[in-house]
Structure 1
């Protein structure tokens, strides 16, 4: 097998049972890739052997945890997929409150294990199947982030296999430049994380909320939401999400979570309700872990709009950040695009930022989208048939382009191959420092993918203008 016997863990090739499933990612809009080998690593030694083998055989590497790359960047034809999904233990130190979490743990298991072991959590997203590694390395935003920060802000250290095949423990004292880059610089760039060490936070009951208005009220609701969700005025315990569906579906919805009891949340919510009265409202105080299941789409007794779970696995999502309240012109763009959609499963979502996220400067970590951000913006389209793909992809890109005068940047975890100036969109003024870290730890660009940091010089040369200097 061409020396593949030196690989350890579970190794699949195209003749192996399970290969066809293993070469698929979550987003099925892409045709199947044909990697030479898929190596399911079970410990650090497996990862080290895989990296060394790929370098010795000059075979491209892709790293994978939860299979959730929006552009299938964790796959490559003819290469080696180093999959860490079987490094999946969660261990909470009861004395320090530090949780050691394997890089392959899916998010729902992270939440459940931390709850079981100590009624604690980390701030992270809502999708139950996303892998902790990609989520964390690209930033990570969730329903406690305005209170506790981004997921990456809560990483105290990590263990990483570097391009030389050696394991390094990385934290603010050991390789601090690499630690900085791993807080928001994106996965698959500097090495392969095997374990994270997270600061955790005590949680108990939270209040979840769902409010809905008629579609005709969309402009009024957006304006009211903007007034209510002022990033530095809204209670840090509250994380609201505004979801605007296609006109065909006709829903204008605010959902979210308040980390505290309903009686404390009532005065926080009242200004929004006073400005524009919803036609439907649900507010419940539940144990934190129940809220995780609600927003993960696991419980059947909440409105479907709360659910991430879906049989539709072909999608195109992209992103931007809102820094200023939307003008009437911006609202017209939103209404026009939601009125002319290629299918019903199309929407735009705004996640309220601020709070603890903006307590760290835009250069304090590799993620530059913090201070001044009102909301992250997500343009989303889902479909079932391959024949529908082009229309949905074009609609998302048209929407993103039309909103460029009113938004800035993009979120590296919602990678988008259509963004031409992706280095500046993802990293803004942090580009030069990220390039320096890359050059120091991976000068041969062993860890590469189409929008990897190793390709920034080439991308900027294509765009014209000088390469940023640190």
Structure 2
């Protein structure tokens, strides 16, 4: 085990997190090599007279910076990253610190489907425990749905294994209850499905529309058809971006108003046929979708080539401007590959996440096929927001991503019963995002935060709930003292009460606490 304390060499690099909007200074970071190390640290800190708070960090991608904090102790499990397959099977133990890029490489080699996310530098610890959306979600369920067991260090430093047979209530909480609440999860156990026989690789795809005037039409067609498609092999994300101007022939570095991307567990030809069926009026065969063979995450399998247009970070010109400069910690502020803003680069940003008020409904026609009727007011509001041109030379990239649900998330009753994720009937997740390059640029920071606040306010009449993987401490307003009110949108009243009871049993002294953490029962 390696310990980096405040003021020691390497401390600034060790405390860095993915969201450079936060400049937090923990007392110490404990890099654990295995579950034994994590248990030793928990016992040591639990007996410490100061009782400093403990934060658990797998990769540092918690959008509100809550895997760290000022004056806290950080248990870093990023080095617990082993991936151990049982011979000739899809049964695998995965370390909580495993990066998706590495994990997808391992599962691809075994021709197995892992229900992970779409950004290859994310480590799976927080992703799985928060529920986890990815490009196989409609076919496999959320990341947490396929989880069979975990290895956990409890608040009193004990190492245990948890499954549905061994403490089913705790296992329920670990599927979607959020990371860092009930102990230190060091390993996850999965049984992974094989790729379909005869399939060389699943196919990734992108389609773009260059006109803002099409936002309402495309969003309506996508929201009506994609979440309830009978073909669960297709999972997609629709990104709507605030652009400075429309371009007839955008360069790869230019944002476009509408971008659809996803994965189809089939051939490129099958992918194109499915898209044409689901987009009967907005799919133009003159502009064929870009498809690329490749399993795993969108970023890992060709994103930087056929999918390079979707960037998660600041506008390209701002990354270029920052290149060569140094940030306040003396670290390089921009990557060599300025397109790869998803790949481990600490840019300041603000995100939120919530659900539309409309639900997927079971068909009343006897066909058995679920249906979804999107709210026209939601669509028109989004259309209006993103038809307002971005300010010239804005330093902030602002967009709204719609993550499709449905499929196994909606239909699988076992998944409903065995997880704390409360929004199984929702057609998609709405995720507003704002990214900028320089954490010291107060004007850009204000512009990004204001965009999220205004969008959240304008969509409030048509949205509800939250998604703990996309945490927003301002979701319920500026007063964050009422922890129950802050967390209720994410879990619902009933689930939150059950989670608090489990928290009281597992961590009665609230050793694992953070501003959006689940408190013990009052």
Q: Same fold (TM over 0.5)?
A: yes
> Structure 2 length normalisation: TM-score?
0.81
Distance 1:317 1:456, change over 3 A: farther
5+ long unaligned stretches in structure 2: 245-254, 314-339, 359-372, 477-484
C-alpha distance in 2 between matches for 1:149 and 1:205: 20
The residue aligned with 1:153 is: 145
Question: 1:388-407 to 2 correspondence within 5 Å?
Answer: 388-407=444-463
- The Cα of 1:95 is off from its aligned counterpart by 4.3
Query: CA contact under 8 A between 1:205 and 1:285: conserved in structure 2?
Result: no
Question: 1:46-195 to 2 correspondence within 5 Å?
Answer: 46-57=37-48, 58-116=51-109, 118-195=110-187
Q: 2:328 matched to 1:264?
A: no
- The Cα of 1:148 is off from its aligned counterpart by 0.8
C-alpha distance in 1 between matches for 2:150 and 2:497: 23
Q: 2:225 matched to 1:228?
A: yes
Query: CA contact under 8 A between 1:146 and 1:354: conserved in structure 2?
Result: yes
Distance 1:359 1:290, change over 3 A: closer
Among 203, 215, 220, the residue aligned to 2:212: 215
The residue aligned with 2:347 is: 313
Distance 1:78 1:27, change over 3 A: same
Computed over aligned residues only, the root mean square deviation of the Cα atoms, in angstroms, reads 2.1
Deviation readout 1:321-376 (Å, 9 max, x if unpaired):
12424434323321333226564511101111100111345453111111x21111
C-alpha distance in 2 between matches for 1:94 and 1:435: 39
Deviation readout 1:49-71 (Å, 9 max, x if unpaired):
11111111122111100100000
Greater RCO (Cα-Cα under 8 Å, separation 6 or more): 2
SS at match of 1:439: helix
> Structure 1 length normalisation: TM-score?
0.89
Q: 2:233 matched to 1:237?
A: yes
- The Cα of 1:96 is off from its aligned counterpart by 4.3
Query: CA contact under 8 A between 1:423 and 1:456: conserved in structure 2?
Result: no
Among 275, 291, 294, the residue aligned to 1:284: 291
Counting helix residues as a fraction of each chain, which structure ranks higher? 1
The residue aligned with 2:379 is: 331
Query: CA contact under 8 A between 2:294 and 2:301: conserved in structure 1?
Result: no
C-alpha distance in 2 between matches for 1:351 and 1:453: 25
Query: CA contact under 8 A between 1:323 and 1:375: conserved in structure 2?
Result: no
SS at match of 1:152: coil
C-alpha distance in 2 between matches for 1:253 and 1:13: 44
Distance 1:46 1:74, change over 3 A: same
SS at match of 1:12: strand
- The Cα of 1:439 is off from its aligned counterpart by 1.0
SS at match of 2:63: coil
The residue aligned with 2:261 is: 255
Among 300, 305, 315, the residue aligned to 1:293: 300
5+ long unaligned stretches in structure 1: 1-8, 458-470
C-alpha distance in 1 between matches for 2:239 and 2:94: 32
Question: 1:423-462 to 2 correspondence within 5 Å?
Answer: 423-428=487-492, 429-454=494-519
